[in-house]
Amino acid sequence: MPGFSTNSSLGITWLMKNTISCLLNCVIFSVWSAQALEMSVGKIPFLQAVNGSTVTLPCTYASCIGIENLYFNWQFNDNGTMQKVCESVIPSEGVVPDVTIFRERVEFVGKNHQNNVSILLLNITFEDGGQYTCFGRNPKEHHKNHSAIFNLIVVDELREVDNTLTIIIASAVGGAIALLMGFMLLKNFTLFVLTKLEEKNKECLVTSSGIDNTENGLSGSKADSKPTPKKK
């Protein structure tokens, strides 16, 4: 074909192949992201508990394509050093894992019900307070892994929340609303009374006008009208 070289044809072919390859990679990446393993410690990733109490550290996993030999563990951040709390492998959905525990006063309570891998800390001390990480890795997703952090705060006693300011604000807002409603009711009542008075005044004016016309012998009155004298 005139004006069309072999190099140009090869360049276009190479460009088309690379474009298709990029599109396929984007699609694969999107599907891969949607299937990725996710570990979750709930909407509130922290807990304040009293020294000596028993607390649950929540964690669940989710995967769009399911699990196969899912590895998970809990780790505790001890002043920058990660110490393993427990670990196990879940062969498949619904199988209760055999969990290895590395710390005292720790109990696994997930039992793999509803993808649950939570743990229980018994008789907690101030040394138990800190950052806990729930980690998971799913070989079915080419060893895709994810982790979530939960913070435990250990205190002597739970402080009562002072609601004085909240009560004052609520009372002020309630009083303002009540005052506004009272003002609106008074306004509507005043307008109603004024409307009635205005209607009554109009009726009085109409009645008074009719009496004046009667006395003056105008059209519409009951006075005898005198006939116009005839010209002789």
Confidence at residue 21, expressed as pLDDT on a 0 to 100 scale? 53
The partner residues of 108 in beta bridges, in order of sequence, read 119
**Closest among 104, 116, 97, 102 to 57, alpha carbons compared:** 116
Say how far apart CA 125 and CA 12 lie, in whole Å.
Answer: 69
Confidence at residue 85, expressed as pLDDT on a 0 to 100 scale? 98
Confidence at residue 121, expressed as pLDDT on a 0 to 100 scale? 98
CATH H superfamily, domain 34-155 = Immunoglobulins (2.60.40.10)
Confidence at residue 159, expressed as pLDDT on a 0 to 100 scale? 76
Confidence at residue 217, expressed as pLDDT on a 0 to 100 scale? 54
Alpha helices by DSSP H, the chain: 6-34, 164-215
> Residue 131, Cβ neighbours under 10 Å: how many?
15
pTM for the complete prediction? 0.57
Confidence at residue 186, expressed as pLDDT on a 0 to 100 scale? 85
Q: Is 84 exposed, middle or buried (0-12, 13-18, 19+ CB in 10 A)?
A: middle
Half-sphere exposure of 148 (CA within 13 A, CB side): 21
Confidence at residue 129, expressed as pLDDT on a 0 to 100 scale? 97
Confidence at residue 216, expressed as pLDDT on a 0 to 100 scale? 54
Distances (CA, A) of 130 to 85, 107, 154, 208: 13, 18, 8, 92
> Which residue has 């998971």 as its token pair?
136
Grouped pLDDT means (10 residues each) for the chain, 232 residues:
50 55 45 70 96 97 93 96 97 92 96 88 97 97 94 89 73 84 84 80 66 53 53 54
> Domain residues of the chain, as ranges?
34-155, 164-203
